[in-house]
C-alpha cells in the first residue's frame, strides 16, 4: 500500500455528496476493502472477495450427537490441545482447517473476505490466533442463531453491531455470505459512482 493511502481514501470519501458516516457499516466496509487492496478499485472482482459456507443443523437430536462426538474427541485428545494448530489437527475437522488456512492466506495476500456463519466464525477465531492481522481483512455477514456465534466473533474483536444481517439463519449454504457480497457490491458501486460535493455545487 502506498504511503498516505488511508489519508487519500478518507479525502475521497469526504468529497462525495454523502453526509459523513451516514452510510454506517457500508462506509466502514468500503474503507476496509480499499485498505486491503491498497487502491480504490473501480470494480469488485472474484479475486477480491472470498466467502466460505458452513452448515449447522439445529435439530436437538443432531445437536446431541454433535455434543457426544465433541466430548469423546476432547477425552481422546486430552493433553494434546495446547495450540490452535493442535486443536484444528485433532478435533477441528477438514472444513475448519481449510477455511482457517484460506483466511490466513487472504491476510497474507491482502484480500478481504466475507465470514459466513458459525463454522466460519470459528475458523476466523483460529486464523486470528495464527495471524493477528486477519481481522483487518475479515468482513462479517450475518449473525447466525447458533449458540457460540457471538463468542467466536468476539475472539476476533467483531462486535454484534458490526454484523449487518440479523436474520436468524442457520441454513448451511453460505446464504449470509452471498447476501453480504451483494450488499458490499452495492455499497462499493455507490461510493465509486456517486457525485462529489463539487459536482453537486456546479448544478
Cα 27 from chain centre: 15
CB 136 within 8 A of CB 113: no
Element housing 202 (H / E): helix 197-202
Indicate which residue of 39, 85, 146, 173 is catalytic.
173
The string of DSSP codes covering 25-36 is HHHHHHHHHHHH
CB 90 within 8 A of CB 81: yes
Sheet holding 50-51, edge to edge: 50-51, 113-115, 138-140
173 catalytic residue (yes or no): yes
Residue carrying C-alpha cell 450475518: 142
> What are the cell numbers at 123?
475458523
Q: Which residues are catalytic?
A: 173
Amino acid at each position: 500500500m502506498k504511503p498516505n493511502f488511508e489519508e487519500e481514501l478518507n479525502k475521497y470519501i469526504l468529497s462525495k455528496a454523502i453526509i459523513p458516516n451516514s452510510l454506517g457499516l457500508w462506509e466502514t466496509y468500503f474503507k476496509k476493502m480499499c485498505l486491503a487492496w491498497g487502491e480504490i478499485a473501480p470494480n469488485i472482482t472474484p479475486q477480491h472477495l472470498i466467502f466460505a459456507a458452513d452448515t449447522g443443523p439445529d435439530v436437538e437430536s443432531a445437536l446431541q450427537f454433535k455434543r457426544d462426538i465433541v466430548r469423546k474427541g476432547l477425552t481422546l485428545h486430552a493433553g494434546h490441545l495446547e495450540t490452535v494448530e493442535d486443536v484444528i489437527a485433532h478435533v477441528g475437522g477438514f472444513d475448519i482447517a481449510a477455511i482457517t488456512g484460506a483466511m490466513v492466506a487472504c491476510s497474507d495476500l491482502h484480500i478481504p473476505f466475507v465470514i459466513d456463519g458459525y463454522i466460519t466464525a470459528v475458523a476466523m477465531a483460529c486464523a486470528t490466533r495464527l495471524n493477528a492481522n486477519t481481522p483487518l481483512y475479515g468482513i462479517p455477514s450475518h449473525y447466525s442463531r447458533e449458540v457460540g456465534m457471538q463468542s467466536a466473533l468476539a475472539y476476533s474483536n467483531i462486535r454484534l453491531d458490526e454484523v449487518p444481517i440479523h436474520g436468524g439463519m442457520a441454513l448451511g449454504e453460505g446464504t449470509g455470505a452471498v447476501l453480504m457480497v451483494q450488499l458490499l457490491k452495492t455499497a462499493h458501486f455507490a461510493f465509486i459512482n456517486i457525485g462529489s460535493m463539487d459536482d453537486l455545487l456546479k448544478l
